[in-house]
């Protein structure tokens, strides 16, 4: 094994894809990075995310490791692709460990259809999806504008609110992380401005890296797990990637100000002000947790409604019945969240606050929080790639529980900033290039397409392979995009 150097810090290789940063510069725990050597050399060279791994390790009450996934890149406070668990009594909660887009997540739905059945009518299908699912900055109009009291119900009940109003089925909740609702949600901790921003955004996709994709199951790696998830080669599936929209962004913005004051109030010394935090048991910490959970519930309701709009679009565009379509939720995972969970710490079971920012929960077979229908194979993990190549389905493992607080990667990870991607895409027929690759794209504007082109991202297969080789999550299937709608 070998050693790499970041500035004056040594990064020690433990095995093929695992690296450790021994504690230095105020770190309370080591840093742990999952990456191939080639990936890590690139990360060291190109951004400051290694420094953020070191900074996170200084947080009060942090447990075991400050962890980074192979899709790591620079973020606000925490790196995107970062995981940290903190002690409930002596530890802190940090909005930087969740992110601005609270409960940005991924939802995968299966159908009975095959590529051969859909391909002749794909253009019409993508157009119908684009008409029915509002996209773009400030998108609105999927539902009527909800009253403040109704939005508070969404914040309290999450996906169950959407199901109650006919957007999906009760079985969807069993196939959603936390059943689509964090019980610690406190709508009263959410500001009037945040509620106002969410009133007309339930059922909207937004912009940036958010998308709805029609995909085809291209390859199966684990036949038993694929069967349990209802996946087969050549099958048409739908992947939805979005979060809590303006409401979640406002919650983060509001509480960054509150927790910046709390950091000095409680005498917490930090290497980066973007790690603003408060003791979990403090009033400020509890209010943020309640507001963050409420925004997470909003995101689950949002994806639930979008899935229902997609189901209707398929039936309208293809002229088939719901029974023929067989449109059913496989699973819904979040990857920007903090949750209270039980994990093994120094040989004993302990409740901790797990921050996952750009990281996906990956609970193993047999775990009580893995849905019963998947308990024999493990919790589904959904890893979107870029819109020109592929995405992956995986399942969680026992090793994830031992090493990463039941967490794995969440996506491809950017290698170019949005500004760089936009500059490189200037003057190109990007949508035409995608069509030549067999992908039909409908977007609200060319700017988003340029920012999200494949060259802006790592190859997600390399990211997923690192976690597979590490035994943290096991590959089940590869999905290829054939139709994309974006903001």
Structural element, H or E, at residue 433: helix 430-436
The secondary structure of 240-287 as a DSSP string is EEE--HHHHHHHHHHHHHHHHHHHHHTT---S-GGG--EETTSHHHHH
3-state secondary structure of 303: helix
The single-letter DSSP state of residue 208 is T
Q: Any catalytic annotation for residue 455?
A: no
Q: Let me know how long the chain is.
A: 487
CA distance 4 to 40: 9
424: exposed, middle or buried (C-beta count within 10 Å: 0-12, 13-18, 19+)? middle
- Contact between 52 and 82 under an 8 Å Cβ cutoff? The reply is yes
Q: Which position among 73, 410, 419, 455 bears the catalytic label?
A: 410
Opening angle at CA 415, ends 409 and 418, nearest 5: 110
Alpha carbon 90 to chain centroid distance? Answer: 28
Neighbours of 164 (CB within 10 A): 12
CA distance 328 to 168: 9
The residues annotated with a catalytic role in the active site are: 410
């Amino acid at each position: 094994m070998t050693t790499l150097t970041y500035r004056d810090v040594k990064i020690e290789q433990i095995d093929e894809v695992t690296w450790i940063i021994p504690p230095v510069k105020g770190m309370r725990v080591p840093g742990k990075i999952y990456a191939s050597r080639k990936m890590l050399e690139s990360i060291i060279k190109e951004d400051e995310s290694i420094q953020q791994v070191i900074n996170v390790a200084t947080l009060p009450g942090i447990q075991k490791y400050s962890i980074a996934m192979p899709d790591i890149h620079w973020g606000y406070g925490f790196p995107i692709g970062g995981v940290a668990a903190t002690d409930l009594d002596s530890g802190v909660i940090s909005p930087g460990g969740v992110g601005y887009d609270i409960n940005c997540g991924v939802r995968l739905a299966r159908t009975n259809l095959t590529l051969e059945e859909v391909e002749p009518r794909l253009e019409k299908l993508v157009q119908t999806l684009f008409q029915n699912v509002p996209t773009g900055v400030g998108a609105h109009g999927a539902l009527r504008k909800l009253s403040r009291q109704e939005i508070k119900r969404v914040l309290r009940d999450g996906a169950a609110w959407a199901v109650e109003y006919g957007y999906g089925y009760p079985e969807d909740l069993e196939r959603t992380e936390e059943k689509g609702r964090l019980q610690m949600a406190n709508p009263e901790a959410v500001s009037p401005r945040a509620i106002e921003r969410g009133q007309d955004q339930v059922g909207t996709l937004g912009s940036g890296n958010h998308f709805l994709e029609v995909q085809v199951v291209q390859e199966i790696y684990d036949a038993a797990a694929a069967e349990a998830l209802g996946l087969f080669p050549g099958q048409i599936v739908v992947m939805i990637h979005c979060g809590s929209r303006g409401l979640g962004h406002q919650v983060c913005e509001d509480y960054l100000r509150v927790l910046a004051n709390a950091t000095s109030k409680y005498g917490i010394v930090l290497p980066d002000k973007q790690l603003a935090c408060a003791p979990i048991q403090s009033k400020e910490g509890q209010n943020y947790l309640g507001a963050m959970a409420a925004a997470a519930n909003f995101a689950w309701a949002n994806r639930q409604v979008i899935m229902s709009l997609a189901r209707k679009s398929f039936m309208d565009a293809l002229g088939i019945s719901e029974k023929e379509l067989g449109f059913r939720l496989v699973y819904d995972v979040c990857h920007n969240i903090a949750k209270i969970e039980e994990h093994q710490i120094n040989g004993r079971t302990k409740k901790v606050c797990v921050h996952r920012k750009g990281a996906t929960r990956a609970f193993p077979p047999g775990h009580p929080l893995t849905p019963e229908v998947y308990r024999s194979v493990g919790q589904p993990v959904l890893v979107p790639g870029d819109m020109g190549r592929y995405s992956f389905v995986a399942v969680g493992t026992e090793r994830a529980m031992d090493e990463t607080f039941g967490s794995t990667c969440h996506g491809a990870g950017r290698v170019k900033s949005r500004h760089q991607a936009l500059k490189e895409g200037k003057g190109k027929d990007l949508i035409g290039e995608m069509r030549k690759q067999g992908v039909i794209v409908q977007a609200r504007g060319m700017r988003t397409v340029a920012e999200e082109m494949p060259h802006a991202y790592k190859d997600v297969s390399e990211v997923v392979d690192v976690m597979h080789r590490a035994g943290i999550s096991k590959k089940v299937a590869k999905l290829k995009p054939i139709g994309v709608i974006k903001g």
